[in-house]
């Protein structure tokens, strides 16, 4: 009897996804059916509705619409082009230079905009045609763009780290932001190694070597954009403002920058605000729905049962982390990142904390895991954006994607078992 709610939850959710029900509604219906095992229909429906509303009643979540809006402003304000120009002068002369430029630009763009979709869209649109013109396979360019775009979800400011802070019951956002730097850069480095090796094997030509003067000029051009990182992250870590206040400052800064660059006009603002609102609505609906399922899980004591089951198999930290990583990799294939974080954090966090694993470290492990899922079908949003922009198909992109997946998994393995990679920077600031 005690496993019936879990079975109802899993089977109903899988069946609803299989017949094409949107993820948010699949979550809500599954949560309702799970509660119906224990309570009558009217209380179940009322509770789910209340949980959806209560799940959005959080001051920290105000940061998400602001960061989404700042990302839209940056994407249209000429920031991506300046970051690409700077990256070109750094690595353009190396084998596979354009692929390396894509990865570095995506890391910088993701760190500033905090959006994998914005990064994939900007880099794919600007660099894709140029890579093809210089003899790169279209599929290889798409694969590099797709995987590198996810680094911005680990490198702060990141909306998904804010969501994890909410789901974990209070992990410091400032600590999570600092913890993401080294893992995000490490992932980008491994992707660059694979791209460089693939380019040498295929014989892709290199670009011209840049002079010190060119590097300096493009750096100066990119400095106003890069300063946003100093303002936002520096202000949060120094305690000058909260993550929510920082997101509002990011909007103001990116708007002023776009107007100064003359790539955003007042006529553009309604469309930018509308696009940001649409993205925010999707994210918030997923958060509200996921919070209702999290409450249903808690009410039916499912996290405790799973925790006891995992610890009943073994109490070896290495084995438990391998098992959790495998589960999360599988979850990432079938579920979008936001609901996955909100649903599985309450399930796995009690397990790892019993084993002495820091919640901040586990948050970075979880996000890195789910980043891989964004690049895989059937619900990999970044995969679909990257393939669509490159005008190719998923089947053709799979082959160049595989070695890049291996690079991401190696980075995940190192971050999982070397906690200092995540915790060193937060410890420097006593976070």
Residue 107 forms part of a structural domain: yes
DSSP string, 357-410: --HHHHHHHHHHHHHHHTTSTTT-HHHHHHHHHHT--HHHHHHHHHHHHHHHHH
Asked if residue 112 is part of any domain, the answer here is yes
Residue 207 CA to residue 193 CA, distance in Å, equals 18
Angle at 344 between CA 239 and CA 179, to 5 degrees: 30
Q: What pLDDT is stored for residue 379 in this prediction?
A: 66
User: DSSP secondary-structure letter at 301?
Assistant: T
For residue 189, being part of any structural domain is answered with yes
- Backbone dihedral angles phi then psi of residue 391, each to the nearest 5 degrees: 55, 50
Distance CA 68, CA 59 (A): 16
The values of phi and psi at residue 127, to 5°, are -95, -25
The answer to whether residue 341 is domain-embedded is: yes
Residue 401 has which token pair? 């994607």
Cis ω before 41 (30° cut-off from 0): no
Whether 275 maps to a domain, the answer reads: yes
Contact criterion met (CB below 8 Å) for 185 and 422: no
83 located within any domain: yes
Please give the pLDDT value at position 207.
Answer: 63
Residues 333, 29: Cα–Cα separation, whole Å:
21
- Residue segments in the chain with a per-residue pLDDT below the cut of 70: 1-2, 92, 110-115, 118, 205-208, 378-379
What is the count of structural domains for the chain?
1
* CB atoms near residue 183 (< 10 Å): 25
- Looking at residue 171, its pLDDT comes to 85
- Residue 105 domain flag: yes
What pLDDT is stored for residue 295 in this prediction? 85
Residue 89 is assigned to a structural domain of this protein: yes
> What is the chain's Cα-based Rg?
22
Task: Compute the distance between CA of residue 346 and CA of residue 188 in angstroms, rounded to an integer.
Answer: 29
Q: What is the phi/psi pair of residue 265, to 5°? A: -115, 165
User: Which residues span the domain enclosing 185?
Assistant: 59-282+303-428
Cα 28 to the center of its chain, rounded Å? 23
Among 52, 54, 112, smallest CA distance to 83 is for: 112
Q: Kindly write down the DSSP assignment for every residue of 203-270, as one continuous string.
A: TPPP-PPPPHHHHHHHHHHHHHHHHHHHHHHHHHHTTSS-HHHHHHHHHHHHHHHHHHHTS--GGGHH
Enumerate residues 6+ apart whose C-beta is below 8 A from 342: 163, 166, 167, 287, 290, 291, 293, 294
Distance from C-alpha of 326 to C-alpha of 354, rounded to nearest angstrom: 19
Q: Is the peptide bond before 378 cis (omega within 30 degrees of 0)?
A: yes
- Please give the structure tokens belonging to residue 284: 């918030």
- By CB atoms closer than 10 A (0-12, 13-18, 19+), residue 333 is middle
Q: What is the pLDDT of residues 309-334, one digit of tens each?
A: 777 787 788 889 999 999 888 888 87
């Amino acid at each position: 009897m005690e496993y019936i709610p879990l079975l109802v939850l899993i089977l109903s959710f899988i069946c609803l996804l299989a017949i094409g029900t949107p993820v948010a509604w699949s979550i809500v219906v599954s949560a309702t059916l799970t509660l119906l095992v224990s309570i009558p229909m009217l209380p179940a429906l009322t509770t789910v509705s209340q949980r959806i509303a209560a799940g959005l009643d959080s001051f920290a979540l105000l940061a998400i619409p602001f960061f989404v809006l700042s990302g839209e402003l940056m994407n249209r304000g000429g920031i991506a082009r300046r970051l690409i120009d700077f990256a070109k002068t750094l690595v353009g002369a190396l084998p596979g230079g354009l692929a390396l430029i894509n990865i570095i630009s995506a890391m910088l763009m993701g760190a500033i905009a905090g959006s994998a979709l914005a990064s994939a869209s900007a880099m794919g649109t600007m660099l894709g045609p140029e890579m093809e013109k210089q003899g790169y396979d279209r599929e290889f360019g798409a694969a590099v763009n797709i995987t590198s775009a996810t680094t911005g979800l680990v490198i702060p400011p990141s909306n998904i780290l804010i969501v994890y802070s909410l789901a974990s019951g209070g992990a410091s956002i400032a600590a999570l932001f600092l913890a993401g730097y080294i893992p995000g850069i490490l992932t980008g480095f491994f992707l660059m190694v694979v791209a460089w090796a693939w380019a040498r094997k295929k014989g892709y030509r290199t670009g011209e070597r840049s002079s010190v003067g060119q590097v300096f000029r493009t750096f100066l051009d990119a400095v106003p954009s890069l300063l946003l990182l100093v303002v936002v992250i520096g202000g949060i870590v120094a305690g000058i403002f909260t993550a929510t206040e920082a997101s509002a400052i990011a909007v103001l800064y990116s708007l002023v920058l776009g107007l100064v660059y003359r790539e955003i006009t007042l006529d553009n603002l309604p469309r930018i605000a509308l696009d940001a609102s649409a993205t925010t609505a999707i994210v918030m609906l997923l958060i509200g729905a996921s919070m209702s399922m999290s409450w249903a899980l808690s009410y039916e004591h499912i996290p405790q049962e799973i925790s006891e089951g995992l610890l009943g198999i073994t109490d070896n930290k290495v084995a438990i982390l391998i098992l959790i990583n495998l589960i999360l990799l599988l979850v990432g294939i079938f579920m979008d990142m936001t609901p996955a974080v909100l649903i599985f954090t309450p399930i796995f966090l009690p397990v790892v904390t019993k084993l002495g694993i820091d919640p901040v470290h586990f948050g970075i492990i979880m996000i890195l895991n789910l980043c891989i899922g964004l690049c895989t079908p059937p619900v990999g949003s970044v995969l679909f954006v990257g393939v669509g922009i490159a005008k190719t198909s998923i089947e053709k992109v799979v082959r160049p994607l595989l070695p890049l997946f291996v690079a991401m998994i190696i980075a995940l393995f190192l971050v999982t078992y070397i906690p200092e990679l995540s915790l060193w920077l937060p410890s420097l600031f006593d976070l």
